[in-house]
Structure 1
Amino acid sequence: MADPLSADAFLAALRAEGVNVVEHDGWRTHNRNHKGPWGPVHGVVVHHTVSSGSASTVALCRDGYDELPGPLCHGVITKDGSFHLIGYGRTNHAGGGDPEVLRVVADESYDARPPGPHYGNADGTDGNRAFYGWECENLGDGKDPWPDAQLDTIERASAAVCRAHGWSAKSVIGHLEWSDDKSDPRGFTMPWMRDRVAARLGSAPSTPPATPAPTPRYEPFPGSAFFMNGSKAALGKSSPIFTQMGNRLIAKGFGRYYSVGAGPKLGRADVNAYEAYQRSLGFTGEAATWPPGPTSWDKLQVPRS
């Protein structure tokens, strides 16, 4: 049992756990607090939406419908693994459920599963005040797949809340474990998901692997020493970089210095062509002589070899 996190603390916990959060306008104050209390909170309830299409699913959960006004949860987890923040506070997601389930979840005193619920939406205790809720985009027919990215976000978002409150994975339940007239989520089991959450809670928060930075298109400046042998040009030194450099000098209009084209061995033609190229950029005196400098090199845009 705990007071709900502030909206800012909730958002920070999700991001710290590596959740891909999409914030929707007004989510911090979009709630049903005028209909009853929000908190104390005891855990997370996971749902499926019986819908398809990410945009329409998010809109449905945000706005609700005539018989059940929105928001219908705190976060919508779409197929691509995005966590759409649509409301915060009391939301219409859990409805009525079994008071004994609430007790064992609050105490985290059950084994693999809470006891089977004997109460439902019409006659059960108020769950909207007691749980965070995730609505997950899925048809709920047991056949609609659950992409890895979506399952990963269910795990991460649930672990984020548990970590923030100091709960174990036993504070994460499915709607079917809360209410005797519900079947969601279908397509995976909650003991399996709790095992994933427990494994995550056993370590510090981890974000998804970063996308590697793209390989630069152009050869970075290798430093003046690369082009020199002591105080002289490194004539005869071989490198594919020299071939690419010579080709770029020829493309820039300095091909007259080459009799047979560019090659991997640094030659006098390369030196003469590069010095002419530097003069064309406005360099004078020693600044226009070999070796290349970083400014002229970057402008030449030598492709990576």
Structure 2
Amino acid sequence: MTQFTAKTVLVTGASRGIGLLTAQTLAARGHYVFAGMRDISGRNRDAAQALQKSAAEAGQSLRVVELDVTSQHDCTRVAAEIELERPLDVLVNNAGIMPVGVTEAFSLDQVRACFDVNMFGLATMSQAALPAMRKRREGLLINISSSAGRLALPYFGVYCASKWAMEAYSESLNYELAPFNIQSVLVEPSGHATDLVSTAPSPDRHVTLDSYGPYAAGRDKMLGMFEALFAEGLSGNDAQNVADRIVALVEMPGERPLRTQVGDDMGVTAINEATAPIQSGLIEQLSGVYAVEEAYEGT
């Protein structure tokens, strides 16, 4: 069995799906897990209590914490509370929502709401966790993107845009944090059987939606395709696969890959392999500009 040092890990969006499975798997492996979720005394009360109870009965180190990644106060508070107890080694930025429908028919408020979770939530939580990591010169950010972060899909325009944004933000962080021995890496799952499909927000600009005529039904067709696929129960669509890959990155010694694709490839690996040399060449050209001197002692 591969030996690893137990890590202290914060997982956001841990009330369901990949976040829940990741928190459970990390705790079962012996890591110290903080499972962040919203409204643990309200709508997520049952999920929070069940997760906390099962961990306690198994003698695992897992604690559910109230965390809304769209709240700067929550992010700052949770990061500080964890650091008071033990150094935070790994942040898994998993919280996310997936709007599906005619892109033009989503109101700007809906677009902002998606970015508030998928992009700005990641940025806010990362900013709360990174100062202590930089001071220790050690840490890891695992950012849960999607195949939609490398592809543009009809009816997924808002979701793709938010994931493309987080891909750029996460990769730029990875270059800038390297002198501090911190990595910012991406996990890019394709379709997996979670409730993202059943909870996908729909457009609220109904006049615009109506003007698309029969094409407005694209949302239902796309979601129906995924639901039919997941109903087959194929092992490749099991969300546990994503959780296992996240855990492997947590436990991996040395440098992790910048991008890890999970599930049906959809051409994402080819895109990653094609763009990597171009990106690497650009970074090499710019290295003298952004590199940090070894003698730098700032925090």
TM-score interval (norm. to shorter): under 0.3
Task: Please report the TM-score for the alignment, with normalisation by the length of structure 2.
Answer: 0.26
* Bigger-Rg structure (1/2): 1
Task: Please report the TM-score for the alignment, with normalisation by the length of structure 1.
Answer: 0.25
